[in-house]
Structure 1
Amino acid sequence: MSAALLCPPAPAAACAGEVPLLPVVGADTRVPLVPGGTTRYVDLDSAASSRALESVAARVAEALPLYASVHRGAGYLSQVSTAAYEDARETVARFVGARTDDVCVLVRHTTDALNLLAGCVPDGEAVLVLDCEHHADLLPWQRRGPLTVLPTAASVVETLRALGAALAAAPYALVAVTGASNVTGESLPLDEVVALAHAAGARVLVDGAQLVPHRRFSLAGSGADYVAFSGHKAYAPFGSGALVGRRDWLDAAPAYLAGGGAVQQVSVEETSWAAAPHRHEGGSPNVLGAVALAAACDALAGLAAEDLAAHERALRERLVDGLGALPGVRVLRIWADSTDPTGVVSFTVAGADPGLVAAYLSAEHGIGVRDGRFCAHPLLARLGVPEGALRASVGVGSTLADVDRLLAALDAFLSAGPRVAYAPVDGRWQPVDDPRPLPGDAARGAGCAPARR
């Protein structure tokens, strides 16, 4: 069914999902197909890394001629770069509703932020997480200990009940919870998680990697104590991220990276460390990454919250409904009673290896999706697909036409099968005779070019 048929005749405005909410770099990029010819690339892998917003790329281009050392440079451009870096910090903190006494540490990505915080939780204090977390919100706590991993129940109501019981049974310093699953887009109601944790004397960390780019989030509004997120999932793929939240643990903890910029005074015998955030930002910071992240935050903040949610909801509903109509396709869900998931949808195709289907979608249709276990092995095992699944994820640059391309390609796979032969190569399915340029050649400009408008 075409997108137009789902829209009422409204001459003034397009339906939600019909056009991109914000322009992204490379939206018209064409890629070669194994059967021959080229097609516009459909990127349905935003949950892994989203494409840069045009406004983000433009802001980085503006900042590049002004780039210089920061914090200790006397030169004019050093002062400009320092101001840009610190302004970016304020923008990022404001974007996630930081309180006046919160601190924003600029890092590389969510994994970096969570490892940083794991070193700040007071020694000996226990952490509680669910088994549906991304590895980035499991492994740092697992390595640190003591840790309790709570099994996810079949419903939101049961999971909250189990969380409350666990908090009542033992003391915890921190509850770490996903803001939105990177496998299904689902989440627990944060206000209820925060209420349960705070009533038991525990703080709450929100893994916001899959939430912050897709829904409005506020530390002050939610009552959460910390949030971590990545620029590369928020349309700023320039190696930046943030940990924002309560200052006391961050000021008391050892420096995350011992080095220049993290200190006040150094002698041969001892070192006096700076307060957070600089305490945890040793070395020369990623100024351009911070500028890019701030630009993305500004662009997302400029969207009406209801428009952002409606756009993604329209895409997800089209995708889930379309997948449900295909024979042998199962859409994965954590909780039957969850509401308002983000635009992340994982699914399986009966009798088909997920890697083969993903390779087919790329080679024969120019569609990029994810396959595998999505750095969430315990969750995939709980959902009954320990071998992995497929994942399609949308963002502000996605449209209903992109979703329809995927559904049509899957229908062709189920009805006619691949047009070329595939075989595993180093653990990944590949066309047996692939005429396309090697990935390295394509990255240098061979074979992939923007479409002419």
Structure 2
Amino acid sequence: MTAVLPARPAAAASTQPLPRLIGAELEVPLVTGDRVRYANLDLAASAPALAGVADHVTELLPFYASVHRGAGYASQVCTAVLEQARETVGRFVGARGDDVVVFTRNTTDALNLLAGCVPGRVLRLDVEHHANLISWRTGRVLPAAPTVAQTLADLRAALAAEPTALLAVTGASNVTGEILPLAEITAIAHAAGARVVVDAAQLAPHRRIDIAGAGIDYLALSGHKLYAPYGAGALVGRRDWLDDATPYLAGGGAVRAVAVPNASGVSEVTWAAAPHRHEAGTPNVLGAAALAQACRCLDAVLDDALDHERALLARLETGLAAVPGVRTLNVWPDATDRVAVASFVVDGYPAGLVAAVLSAEHGIGVRDGKFCAHPLLARLAGTADGCAVRASLGLSTSTSDVDRLVEGVRALVADGPGWDYAVVDGRWTPVPDPRPADPLGVGLTGLLAPGCGG
């Protein structure tokens, strides 16, 4: 496949196996009473933690303390960890030396933060995840054309037709995995006087990103997609809009000085510069540390992982194509690259039923529905409910996982479900479902049980 991102120098070549994920050997029950190793093919939704990330957080926990204004040694350690994490995340995405890294909760949070900073209209395509479709406060949604070439031409025309401050595009579709040529898109936008923000939630776990090389102005990503599910994401990009905007949240840490309120009850506030301007409150130090550690771990193996995932994606697509009545979804036949995400429909079977059968009878985790991309699924799915099934691959995926999915779909098409299913509370569910409903024992009584330190 042709590269659509400029090359950022890789870390030293890895001679080690791909890093281990927590839960990679998890066994789950089937409705038959058997237990099998869980085939997690839902990594595009949330990925388990890398073992190296979990170890890093465990090592940091004894030092956990509030940051920035604490004189204690633990506070100074955590402050250093937080600020070093900014540098690490910036390097991971190839940021410019004067770019800002603002820690957020996730990609959605990061894009909503940026939405309050944009001094003008925002253009986006209708193929976007909702986070990059509905978070913007003004602007236009442009239907994506049937080819990449025509979509780029339409973007150029739309940008020329009216003043636009920002073009918001996906780095990789969370539905089809397809990647647009980002460097070409930024050149088109910059020629029209617009900036570009990339929703990199799906791109960052799979590709090297070079913000500086591609000319990307802003980029948003999530730790929970990046094998660091500890509640942190990031917005990376140019300082000026972030420094000029109203702070995302008002509170401690975002200010330099606050005067006594006047007679009208209004305080005079001197706000801090970004990134602290937009990080009011106690920051998620552990989440930021986890995100940075995931960046370090991935940087060493992304090239090996790319070969691994491309081979598995090809195997998956070939396998599904051989099953009668299965159709894989795509937007652009001329797209030259895609990450390891494949959405499909099975003739005659609701997507929710397909996912329930794969889980209950085969121990496979996939996602079904509209994937927070309703306009795109309405266009592509061709089903009564507009839903599809999505399989997403990653570091922990094996050939046997892919083969198990293909065989599960083939068995469903050939023989139908091997168990009874019904819609319960809006979800397809085995009836009866003999699998344990609370295997961790964390119901209301479990939450209050002894063994939690007090």
For the criterion TM > 0.5, the same-fold answer is yes
In the superposition, relative to structure 1, how do residues 440 and 139 fare at CA in structure 2: closer, same or farther (>3 Å)?
farther
In the superposition, relative to structure 1, how do residues 203 and 283 fare at CA in structure 2: closer, same or farther (>3 Å)?
same
Could you report, residue by residue, the CA deviation over 1:361-392 in whole angstroms, capped at 9, with x for unpaired residues?
11111100000000000011121435210000
In the superposition, relative to structure 1, how do residues 440 and 251 fare at CA in structure 2: closer, same or farther (>3 Å)?
farther
Shift of 1:21: 2.2
1:347-366 aligned at under 5 Å gives the runs: 347-366=344-363
In the alignment, what sits opposite 2:106? 109
Cα distance in 1 between the residues matched to 2:302 and 2:141 = 37
Shift of 1:308: 2.6
1:339-354 aligned at under 5 Å gives the runs: 339-354=336-351
In the alignment, what sits opposite 1:135? 130
CA contact 2:207–2:302 (8 Å) conserved in 1? no
Cα distance in 1 between the residues matched to 2:285 and 2:418 = 47
- AA of the residue aligned to 1:126: R
In the alignment, what sits opposite 1:388? 387
In the alignment, what sits opposite 1:172? 164
In the alignment, what sits opposite 1:420? 419
CA contact 2:208–2:302 (8 Å) conserved in 1? no
Could you report, residue by residue, the CA deviation over 1:31-90 in whole angstroms, capped at 9, with x for unpaired residues?
011111100000000000011101000101101111111111111101111111111111
- AA of the residue aligned to 2:131: A
Shift of 1:224: 0.6
Number of equivalent positions: 421
In the alignment, what sits opposite 1:253? 245
CA contact 1:23–1:54 (8 Å) conserved in 2? yes
The reply to whether residue 182 of structure 1 matches residue 174 of structure 2 is: yes
In the superposition, relative to structure 1, how do residues 430 and 210 fare at CA in structure 2: closer, same or farther (>3 Å)?
same
In the alignment, what sits opposite 2:193? 201
- AA of the residue aligned to 1:289: G
Cα distance in 2 between the residues matched to 1:291 and 1:52 = 13
Shift of 1:105: 0.1
In the alignment, what sits opposite 2:396? 397
SS at match of 1:358: helix
CA contact 2:329–2:381 (8 Å) conserved in 1? no
Cα distance in 2 between the residues matched to 1:416 and 1:105 = 52
SS at match of 1:229: strand
Residues 378-387 or 270-279, more deviating: 378-387
Could you report, residue by residue, the CA deviation over 1:258-293 in whole angstroms, capped at 9, with x for unpaired residues?
000000001123110000000000000000000100
SS at match of 1:86: helix
Could you report, residue by residue, the CA deviation over 1:395-417 in whole angstroms, capped at 9, with x for unpaired residues?
11111111011111111111112
Cα distance in 2 between the residues matched to 1:165 and 1:88 = 40
In the superposition, relative to structure 1, how do residues 220 and 378 fare at CA in structure 2: closer, same or farther (>3 Å)?
same
Could you report, residue by residue, the CA deviation over 1:270-324 in whole angstroms, capped at 9, with x for unpaired residues?
110000000000000000000100010001111253x232111111100111110
CA contact 1:215–1:308 (8 Å) conserved in 2? no
Cα distance in 2 between the residues matched to 1:329 and 1:119 = 43
In the alignment, what sits opposite 1:282? 280
The reply to whether residue 232 of structure 1 matches residue 224 of structure 2 is: yes
SS at match of 1:21: coil
Cα distance in 2 between the residues matched to 1:165 and 1:229 = 29
In the alignment, what sits opposite 2:324? 327
In the alignment, what sits opposite 2:142? 150
| The one of 299, 302, 321 aligned to 2:300 | 302
- AA of the residue aligned to 2:423: P
In the superposition, relative to structure 1, how do residues 164 and 434 fare at CA in structure 2: closer, same or farther (>3 Å)?
same
| The one of 38, 41, 44 aligned to 2:38 | 41
Cα distance in 2 between the residues matched to 1:387 and 1:173 = 33
Cα distance in 1 between the residues matched to 2:442 and 2:185 = 44
SS at match of 1:346: strand
SS at match of 2:224: coil
Shift of 1:170: 1.2
Shift of 1:131: 0.3
The structure 1 segments of at least 4 consecutive aligned residues displaced by more than 3 Å after TM superposition are: 439-444
SS at match of 1:405: helix
Cα distance in 1 between the residues matched to 2:224 and 2:55 = 16
In the alignment, what sits opposite 1:3? none
- AA of the residue aligned to 1:392: A
| The one of 228, 248, 255 aligned to 1:263 | 255
Instruction: State percent identity of aligned pairs.
Output: 63
In the alignment, what sits opposite 1:15? none
What stretches of structure 1 of length at least 5 have no aligned partner? 1-18, 447-453
- AA of the residue aligned to 1:38: R
Could you report, residue by residue, the CA deviation over 1:419-451 in whole angstroms, capped at 9, with x for unpaired residues?
11000111001111111111464668x9xxxxx
Cα distance in 1 between the residues matched to 2:17 and 2:244 = 44
In the alignment, what sits opposite 1:7? none
Given the two structures, how large is their TM-score scaled by the length of structure 1? 0.91
SS at match of 1:140: coil
Could you report, residue by residue, the CA deviation over 1:196-232 in whole angstroms, capped at 9, with x for unpaired residues?
0000000000000000110000111111100000000
Shift of 1:22: 1.9
Cα distance in 2 between the residues matched to 1:100 and 1:85 = 18
What is the Cα-based RMSD across aligned positions, in Å? 1.4
Cα distance in 2 between the residues matched to 1:439 and 1:396 = 28
Cα distance in 1 between the residues matched to 2:90 and 2:26 = 33
- AA of the residue aligned to 1:30: E
SS at match of 1:60: helix
In the superposition, relative to structure 1, how do residues 233 and 362 fare at CA in structure 2: closer, same or farther (>3 Å)?
same
1:51-130 aligned at under 5 Å gives the runs: 51-122=48-119, 125-130=120-125
CA contact 1:232–1:238 (8 Å) conserved in 2? yes
In the alignment, what sits opposite 2:11? none
- AA of the residue aligned to 1:212: A
Cα distance in 1 between the residues matched to 2:328 and 2:442 = 33
Cα distance in 1 between the residues matched to 2:354 and 2:171 = 29
In the superposition, relative to structure 1, how do residues 35 and 325 fare at CA in structure 2: closer, same or farther (>3 Å)?
same
- AA of the residue aligned to 1:356: L
Shift of 1:339: 1.3
